[in-house]
Amino acid sequence: MFPLQRGRRLRVNESIRSLVRETTLSPSDFMFPMFIAEGENVKVEIPSMPGIFRRSIDLTVEEVKELFDLGIRAVNIYVKVSENLKDNTGKEAWNPNGLMQQTIRAIKAACPEMIVMPDVALDPYSIYGHDGIIANGDVENDSTNDALVKMAVSHAEAGADFVAPSDMMDGRVLRLRQGLDAAGFHNVGIMSYSAKYASAFYGPFRDALDSAPKEADVVVPKDKKTYQMDYANRIEAIKEALWDVEEGADMVMVKPGIAYLDIVREVKNAVNVPVTVYHVSGEYAMIKAAAERGWLDNDKIMMEQLMCIKRAGASLISTYFAKEAAILLKK
């Protein structure tokens, strides 16, 4: 008790603060989400995500090398699919010569030690912008799972280290594990988006891939709330994460990040696998917008939020700030 105990003794200067710091960050805590475009020498900035680009494969490979040199050891990749390749089946998703498969092969050839986790969901390939196959006015769960298995196996064949199902279909982790094992890919892991909420924070991401739900000449859900989680729910997130671990997930993810740190801690306490947190596009965009107006300090807010995500229980943080933060940490 005071005056024998004074908490400020451990805050006197940065050297003391660093000695007793409970949580630390390093570049290996980060995964960088990357957007891939068709063509060569293509680099297009996403207007709602300053500093983030859609890159062609050649420039993606160069960026991956830079990331690896900074100490970042994982990338999560998404593709911008041409409109003429989209349909309701998503069949382009398992084309062995598709943009995703070409990208995986190119990254692994140029930087074999970089961990590649391609996204597994049909929304970039869907004419309706949904994560699965539309039937009878809704996203059909089991036929979508069949498509996701084909997609994941094609990623493994291209050299992916993990597959990252973000679709939120019931039972898809079990089906993916069975499909990968049957194809001989026992060592390809699954990082499951277990607690993915139906969030308004995804807007800039959907701009990047043109993957928002679209109006159509058939009945389709107007949003993704029939498969993504209700943001009012907490216990449901624990249940979903436990189910995915039972089905064979090697990692589970909570998405979004900062607004869901209570969920991160709950899931971390409940599972015995690493927990990934997606620091999503809307969270990134808000900081960038405020920093551009001089309302916030970009670097300080960036590092504070990343530290808080790690403190809440994240083993890995998927963040658009990964490169910026790694550079800052190197200094």
Active site residues: 196, 255
Spatial separation of the C-alpha atoms in residues 132 and 147, rounded to whole Å: 8
HSE-up of residue 266 (Cα within 13 Å, Cβ side) = 17
Cis before 33? omega within 30: no
Spatial separation of the C-alpha atoms in residues 110 and 95, rounded to whole Å: 22
Q: Is 45 annotated as a binding residue?
A: no
Q: Are 172 and 227 in contact (CB under 8 A)?
A: no
- At 314, is the secondary structure helix, strand, or coil? coil
Looking at residue 298, its amino acid is N
Looking at residue 171, its amino acid is G
Residue 319 CB burial class (10 angstroms; 0-12, 13-18, ≥19):
buried
DSSP string of 186-213, one letter each residue: TT-EEEEEEEEB--GGGHHHHHHHT-S-
Strands (E), 179-311: 189-196, 251-255, 275-279
Q: Please, what is the angle between helix 99-110 and helix 141-158, to 10°?
A: 30
Strands (E), the chain: 30-36, 43-45, 53-55, 74-79, 115-120, 133-135, 138-140, 162-165, 189-196, 251-255, 275-279, 316-319
Q: Could you tell me which residues are annotated as the binding site? A: 240
Q: Could you tell me which residues are annotated as the binding site for Mg(2+)? A: 240
